[in-house]
Structure 1
Amino acid sequence: MKNLKSHFVFTQKQRNGIFLLVILILVFQCFYVFVSFSSEDISVDSKEIQLFQNEIDSLKLVEIEKRKPKIYPFNPNFITDYKGYTLGMTSEEINRLLKFRAQDQWINSAKQFQQVTNVSDSVFNKISPYFKFPDWVTNPKPKQQYTKSYKTTSPKSEAEKIDLNTATSIQLQKVYGIGEAFAERIIKYRTKQNGFVSIVELDEIYGLKPETITELKKSFSLKTPKKINRLDINLATKAELVTIRFIDYEIAHNIIEYRTLHEGFKSLDELTKVKDFPVKKIEIIKLYLHLN
């Protein structure tokens, strides 16, 4: 009995420790009783989530459409390598178009464009709605009776000739073979180029026959030619050469390569020996060049 009693005799520190332990046990018991640890299921509205996802998807599509390059109406006759690439054309299709145009031929319909380039239907259907041809192609005017036209029998003197850079449509139509349509084309060309540099540029007017040009020269001359800065063919850089009509970066590169290999050009006609040079346009190109 004495031994048993000794088990319940504690010091002051031990009694304080037991008291603190009892208090902690009571606190944890209360915490366990009054605090719920059960997890509640969160209700999810699948319809609202689907609507939210659909809205996100629609915003993504709008953003994708905004980032796509925009296509504006254009004349397919003037598609460049870069323009063709952005439209989705292959290099072979672009080369077929450039080769066709190099022969001084024009595409006048969407159907003809596909025949010339052999472009795929998917690309054709995407870009053809943006084709824009000149009004005289899409809305040709009925042929006019040239009652006012007459064939000159002899050339006029230089003083009597009219300046081609100031001639009106009515004055042009007095030449045999020049109707309203041709007069309009001549004036449109003159306006686009800010004036004729040389009368030889009449060869650039689509459909104008050589005999009609001969008749024009009898009554018209170039008294106020457009002023241009002519480049020295043996000194011009590639960046300067590409500013000349009908010369792109590839032809400019070939010109400089030929010039380097042959230690310069001896004459402007030597340009015809340059690889891929547009020989048919040499008379126009020579207007912008000179040789020291």
Structure 2
Amino acid sequence: MKRWLNNNFGFTKGEFNGVLALLVLILLITLFPYIYSLVKPEEPVDEEEQLAVLKLSALNSKDTSRLKIHHRVEYKPKTRIKERFIFDPNTIGSAEWQKLGLSARQAQAILTYRSRGGQFRKTEDLRKMYTISDRMYAELAPYVHIKNKAEQQNRAFVPRPAFVKPALKVIELNGADTTELDLIKGVGMTFANRIVKYRNRIGGFYKKEQLMEVFGIDSVKYLELKDQVRIDETKIRKININTAGVEDFKNNPYIRYKQVNAMVQYRKQHGNYKELADLSRVAILTPETIALLKPYLIFEP
């Protein structure tokens, strides 16, 4: 080899020795890890550490098992508790169907069938519902009670107590105030005030028909009111024609001022009136006026 190197590369002896030493060093560096692993003594294993590792491994294994068991229990589907009771499939709602064991979706399918006009006329009609299995039908059939039309009609048309029209409260016109008159159906506070004002002007009502003399009360309104009122003639304010002056007839709609004055002047000239017929001697007084005044006049000395 030395001769080959000298012939091809012209190495001197010193160069040859240097190359050889370099090759040996490279070889040693390459083989060192392998040789070291063969000659290195094994470290003794600590038995306590090894036991602790084994225990930790076992504990982790148990925890994992518990987690798996808990996972299975948590997501275990709940068993639906079924109830059994007498029912009419034409009337019960979703909640009752679910108590019987159907799901919410199954119950809704039956309600939809009914809302579209479907009816269960006999127990076997439940079979035509695809939501009810044969097994479910067998369980429910003994509890089905479908009311016939007669039962439904009797239930729908329960006799009600006859309506009794409340008795109308009758108000006395000559003594009532506005609050009492307001209780009359169809009067109200506006008409109550008008009635009282007119009553004070004439001295009281001697017949019901006088209500039509009140502003706003026509024949139709009168018919509505007449059965709710009564007249007490003893409460009419009387006027003694032989002592009365013009002021006693002030604002009275039945007689004008000129007529009252003529009546007073005639009395002063001819003396007291003895009866109603004496008023006809006053030329300005018409028979109609005398007739209107008759219920309100008295003839005393």
Larger Cα-atom Rg: 2
Taking structure 2 as the reference length, the TM-score comes to 0.30
Greater helix share, 1 or 2? 2
Greater relative contact order (Cα 8 A, min sep 6): structure 1 or 2? 1
Taking structure 1 as the reference length, the TM-score comes to 0.31
